[in-house]
Amino acid sequence: MTDAADLTATELLAAYEAGALSPVEAAEAVLARIDRDDPELDAFCLVDPDTTLDMARAAADRRRRGAALGALDGVPVSIKDVFLTRGWPTLRGSTTIDPAGPWDEDSPAVARLREQGAVFVGKTTTPEFAWKGVTDGPLTGVTRNPWDPSRTPGGSSGGAAAAVAAGMAPLALGTDGGGSVRIPAAFTGTFTIKPTYGRVPHYPVSPFGTLAHTGPMTNTVADAALLLDAICGADGRDWSALPPPDVLFAEGGPDDLTGLRVAFSPDLGFARVDPEVTASVAAAAEAFAALGAKVEQADPGFADPVEAFEVLWFAGAAKVVEHLSAAERERLDPGLREICEQGARYSAVDYLTATARRMDLGRLMGLFHERYDLLLTPTMPIAAFEAGAEVPAGSPSPRWTSWTPFTYPFNMTQQPAASVPCGFTSEGLPIGLQVVGARHADALVMAACAAYERAYPWKRFSRT
């Protein structure tokens, strides 16, 4: 009999409707999976079985009465520990935040999930203040990849991705300021989308400003659509939030991609990519063509914007810690402390120059998408590397931005960008395909990923 912890959200909902499974049984299954696997993976920084089971019992009672609150009523979900969650501490991976709170407010996405009746499983790990592309830090230690626990799951939403991949919750909330849902999705063989900026309301405002997005993390595109539908829409606390989309993402799209104009860029014109990654992503581009898309190899035509991104990112990090005392700063992750010191040295002119570079990049990509509906690239140029390290062994740079060239450019442009599994290395590690659309083309990106998933289903992680 299939373990309920291995079911997707879509499968759980069907089982609830059929009376074959209850939300309580689903909650018990994921809690048992956490007990079994999280001591090794360290995906959760907070698990509260009493609250989880209380929420599950309430959902089961509503379903018995035919009074479900929403499409996700009774479905387990994990929450990255940067989202305010009423009743639970939000420590953001840092020892400098007082767990005593008060914790009396939900972030917008958490509030929408609570209104839908989702069952909160716990808070997932993040590097301190979500500052880097791997998940380890002074508060929670090292989070590990289910496919190979000696490897990183990526970050900064590494705990969320590891939890989804390992069956510790079918749905997860993550954030992405430079790749933080797409990096771990690629490393763990899971699906995610960084929606258009503003598609999901965000509060409190991120110190990294308009680089930061909220996104769903799941095992399937259908599950991500359900979660994205639940958390979209306006919230008065976010003045930049977009209105809800006219059509639900869960309604899907066509089974083929006939007529789509698709650009495939294996390296964006400047990135160094592992040959195994290149081969898998090229095969995925051929699969898009087999589904009816007109695929051409084409680069967008921009140089690596890493210097501008680092000005924006490192200045944001300096803002995060500006209120801390000298003694508190000494407790920070050493890498975070270094970039904060660098970020504090930038001038207003430096920041505005980086912003101008960002705006020019946005203009270029806007024109590019007049010619192409979608852009395909690798999500990551490499597979998962050693856990506990910011960069792979032998890296000439100490910073995470040196190995994430495909992700941060599209935070700068605020475009929707998904990562969908597309293969494995010879060592059995997942490889991700990035699917990028024009701003506001979230539905097209999701539909294209769904069509690819249906035609080329991928192997999910299994411990057995």
pLDDT in tens, 18-36: 999 999 999 999 999 999 9
Confidence at 177, pLDDT banded by 50, 70, 90: very high
Confidence at 255, pLDDT banded by 50, 70, 90: confident
Which amino acid would we find at residue 401? T
Adjacent-strand bridge partners of 124: 44, 80
Percent of the chain at pLDDT exceeding 90: 97
Mean pLDDT to the nearest integer, 371-385: 98
Residue 60: pLDDT over 70: yes
- The residue annotated as part of the active site, out of 78, 107, 180, 419, is 180
Q: Is 397 a catalytic residue?
A: no
Adjacent-strand bridge partners of 214: 175
142: its two tokens: 């090292």
The distance from CA 14 to its chain's CA centroid, rounded to whole angstroms, is 25
Confidence at 464, pLDDT banded by 50, 70, 90: low
Taking each continuous run of H as one helix and of E as one strand, the counts in the chain are 14, 13
- The residue annotated as part of the active site, out of 22, 78, 80, 280, is 80
Which amino acid would we find at residue 276? E
Annotated domain spans of the chain: 4-455
Beta-strand runs (E) in 222-363: 261-264, 294-297
The distance from CA 122 to its chain's CA centroid, rounded to whole angstroms, is 17
DSSP string, 420-450: EEEEE-TTS-EEEEEEEE-TT-HHHHHHHHH
Q: What is the pLDDT of residues 72-121, one digit of tens each?
A: 999 999 999 999 999 999 999 999 999 999 999 999 999 999 999 999 99
Residue 308: pLDDT over 70: yes
Q: Measure Cα distances from 433 to 77, 264, 379, 418, 421 in Å.
A: 25, 11, 5, 8, 6
Q: What is the pLDDT of residues 269-291, one digit of tens each?
A: 999 999 999 999 999 999 999 99
pLDDT at site 254: 83
Residue 173: pLDDT over 70: yes
- Would you give the DSSP letter of residue 260? -
**How far apart are alpha carbons 78 and 44 in whole angstroms?**
9
The packing angle between helices 348-371 and 306-320, to 10°, is: 130
Q: Is 123 a catalytic residue?
A: no
Q: Which residue carries 């929450």 as its tokens?
A: 79
Q: What is the pLDDT of residues 428-459, one digit of tens each?
A: 999 999 999 999 999 999 999 999 999 999 99
Mean pLDDT to the nearest integer, 169-173: 98
- The residue annotated as part of the active site, out of 94, 107, 156, 265, is 156
Q: Is 325 a catalytic residue?
A: no
How many CB atoms within 10 Å of residue 3?
A: 12
Give SS3 for 214: strand
The packing angle between helices 442-455 and 275-290, to 10°, is: 90
Which long-range contacts (C-beta less than 8 Å, at least 24 apart) are formed by 454-461? 454/255, 455/255, 455/287, 455/290, 455/291, 456/284, 456/287, 456/422, 458/189, 458/420, 458/421, 458/422, 459/189, 459/424, 460/165, 460/189, 460/219, 461/146, 461/147, 461/165, 461/166, 461/167, 461/188, 461/189
**How far apart are alpha carbons 66 and 390 in whole angstroms?**
49
Between the CA atoms of 59, 64, 69 and 74, what dihedral angle is there, to the nearest 10 degrees? 30
pLDDT at site 8: 98
Class of the 4-455 domain? alpha beta
